[in-house]
Amino acid sequence: LAHSPSPPPHHPHPIMESQTSLRLSSAEWQKRLTPGQYQVLRCGGTEPPGSSPLVRAFPKVGYFACAGCGLPLYSAGAKFRDPGWPAWDKCFYSEVQGCHVRAKAGMMGTEILCARCNGHLGHVFFGERHTKTNERH
């Protein structure tokens, strides 16, 4: 994920706003992403707790976008404090894309993925009562 101060989305690899799907080969993803981003987004890896600079980022405006494709995922206002990983209580929704984050049930809980590039974003947790939505993404 990356923070952007205001729309429209900017990404080093421009993608049409109306493009609802992005599929690349492993080699193309490796060229596009840093090794750490590739490990998390494409291989389902997990950053060590507290290691992401986004844990300490609390901008007043803007949004957080997928590092793989630039799709806005979470608004700055949806972010809340969590000591281990960046956390949000709800995701973006648009008429073109629908819900910008999709969920996939698995053995380790509910995995969340970017709706455009299918990049692994982590997991969503329910019932912790940290926020009004009762969700932690």
120-126/109-114 β-pairing? antiparallel
The string of pLDDT tens digits covering residues 84-98 is: 899 999 888 777 777
Helices first, then strands: H and E counts in the chain:
2, 11
Are 137 and 131 in contact by the 8 Å Cβ rule? The answer is: no
pTM of the complete model: 0.81
More confident residue, 110 or 108: 110
Extended strands (E) in 89-132: 93-94, 98-99, 101-106, 109-114, 120-126
Residue 21 corresponds to which tokens in the numbers above? 């799907």
Residue 18 corresponds to which tokens in the numbers above? 């109306």
Closest-CA residue to 64 (of 91, 98, 26, 29): 91
Q: How confident is the model at residue 108 (pLDDT cuts 50, 70, 90)?
A: low
The average pLDDT across 50-78 equals 92
